[in-house]
Amino acid sequence: MNKKNGVIFSLLVAAILTGCGSNSQNAGDTHNAQLKEPNEKNGAGVDESKGKGKFTEVKLNTPLDQTMVAMGKSITDVKCVACHKLTDEKLVGPGWKGVTNRRKPEWIMNFVTNTDENLDKDAAAQALLEKCMVRMPNQHLSDEEARSVLEYMFKLDGKS
Ligand code: HEC
């Protein structure tokens, strides 16, 4: 399967089975399998994408930095929950559950701080846009704010 067909295939399957994000309990996993499968064939590897932007290497904290988690939560409550649930359910955008498993930390940082370029040029972001049919507006987070939201996402995904 060539790259274009692979992408179209993945969009079709995802659109038919999950819509934007997922609604059933296990669909988060199914969704991952759908995104991965065609890309394993064409080598593009959605999950391996770091997205477009300046973040090429994001250093992770073990254990998580609880101050950053708290800051990330306040930012999320103000700027993100209008469109994102913390479960695997879709609202306007995909639910966040498992997002740190399906995306590289660099991809999340680049997408959140450089949303427009990624929606224009990054294959994984474009696949989401095709499904959600709404362009996520740039939220104008500073690098530090975006990093704390990422810390919060790790916490939500059960990392410590
Ligand atoms: C107006 C609605 C809206 C707001 C507000 C919003 N988003 Fe989004 N977000 C979306 C949509 C829609 C998508 C799917 C891509 C697209 O269609 O643009 C998305 C996708 C994402 C993704 C990728 C999810 C995945 O499953 O790969 C991340 C990460 C993300 N948003 C983070 C954020 C953060 C962080 C905030 C708050 C600072 C935020 N979003 C605020 C609508 C929104």
Predicted confidence (pLDDT) per residue in 96-108, tens digit: 999 999 999 999 9
User: Is residue 20 pLDDT above 70, yes or no?
Assistant: no
The rounded Å distance from CA 160 to ligand 1 centre is: 24
| Nearest CA residue ID for atom 19, ligand 1 | 93
The rounded Å distance from CA 84 to ligand 1 centre is: 7
Q: What is the pLDDT of residue 33?
A: 41
pLDDT level of residue 154 (50, 70, 90 thresholds): very high
Predicted confidence (pLDDT) per residue in 45-101, tens digit: 345 889 999 999 999 999 999 999 999 999 999 999 999 999 999 999 999 999 999
Share of the chain above pLDDT 70, in %: 71
Distance CA 134, CA 73 (A): 24
Q: Is 35 in the pocket of ligand 1 (CB under 6 A)?
A: no
Query: Residue 30: which residues within 8 A CB-CB, separation 6 or more?
Result: 17, 18, 22
User: Is residue 14 pLDDT above 90, yes or no?
Assistant: no
Distance CA 94, CA 133 (A): 11
Q: Which residue has the higher pLDDT, 12 or 60?
A: 60
Q: Is 60 in the pocket of ligand 1 (CB under 6 A)?
A: no
Bond before 105 cis per omega within 30 degrees: no
In sign, the C-alpha dihedral spanning 159, 23, 138, 3 is positive
For the chain, the straight-line distance linking the first and the last C-alpha, in angstroms and rounded, comes to: 40
Distance CA 154, CA 68 (A): 11
Out of 38-42, 79-83, 109-113, 116-120, pick the least confident. Answer: 38-42
Token pair for residue 26?
């296990």
Q: What is the pLDDT of residue 21?
A: 60
